[in-house]
Homo-oligomer: A and B are copies of this chain.
Amino acid sequence: MTIAIVGGTGPQGSGIGLRLALAGEEVILGSRDADKARAEADRLTAEHSPEGRLSGTGNAEAAERAETVILAVPYRGHDELVTALAPVLAGKLVISCVNPLSFDKLGPVGAEIPDKSAAEEAARILTASTVAGAFHHLSAVTLHWVDHDLSHEDVLVCGDDTAAKAEVMRLAGKVTGGRAIDVGALRLARHLEPFTAVLISVNKRYKTNASVSLTGIRKE
């Protein structure tokens, strides 16, 4: 099974792709600039020699060649990009980790968007795909510190398709080595996405790379 990362040269996308490849998955980084994606895949491969093959190409070709597609793009231009990719995403599992945020002198805050969350926006557009939300709270910094244990961080997964969520949770385990939590309906993405603004604010105050763990759920 091949996983494409649309926006795979951004820090979060490349970090998730790298962790998946290290865990043995075949990963294609996508970018608007196919050469940039190839260079990033080559760089990560040379540096980390992942067990899974890591390659790079344009966003559309990456999505076309994969069974599962992770959207890891900035929110700006999200609607247009997802609309353009809709034909190649048809029939596939699409995992959104897009965080629509605004920044001003008070710091980060969730952006108000028409569909309330990027994941719901993608689901509205991608009527022939199955959309889930996940990976919003993983730090791009610590994803790239490949020796940094992420297994104490919980990946919160939302979606309306149970089988799709099971696959997302499997991949989440590959990324962090820890657990994923099925938080419920896709629309809860509207609360997961802007919680990233809270984490970024905490990062600045505490000079760290914070993420989330839920208490009260037994570790397996």
Residues of A whose CB lies within 8 Å of any CB of B are 106-107, 109-110, 139, 142, 152-153, 156, 181-185, 187-188, 190-192, 194-195, 197-199, 201-206, 208-217
- Which chain B residues border A203 with CB–CB below 8 Å? 216
| A interface: dominant SS | mixed
CA distance A208 to B106 in the complex (A): 35
Contact between A210 and B215 (Cβ–Cβ < 8 Å)? yes
Contact between B201 and A185 (Cβ–Cβ < 8 Å)? yes
Q: Which of B107, B139, B206, B208 contacts A185 (CB 8 A)?
A: B107
Q: Which of B139, B187, B201, B217 contacts A210 (CB 8 A)?
A: B217
Contact between A183 and B211 (Cβ–Cβ < 8 Å)? no
CA distance A195 to B197 in the complex (A): 12
Contact between A156 and B215 (Cβ–Cβ < 8 Å)? no
Contact between B199 and A184 (Cβ–Cβ < 8 Å)? no
Contact between B191 and A156 (Cβ–Cβ < 8 Å)? no
- Which chain B residues border A184 with CB–CB below 8 Å? 106-107, 198, 201-202, 204-205
Contact between A201 and B183 (Cβ–Cβ < 8 Å)? yes
Q: Which of B107, B182, B195, B213 contacts A215 (CB 8 A)?
A: B213
Contact between B205 and A216 (Cβ–Cβ < 8 Å)? no
Residue among A106, A139, A182, A216 with the highest chain B CB neighbour number at 10 A: A216
CA distance A145 to B54 in the complex (A): 50
Contact between A182 and B205 (Cβ–Cβ < 8 Å)? yes
Chain B residue with the shortest CB-CB distance to A200: B184
Residue among A142, A185, A209 with the highest chain B CB neighbour number at 10 A: A185
Q: Which of B181, B187, B211 contacts A214 (CB 8 A)?
A: B211
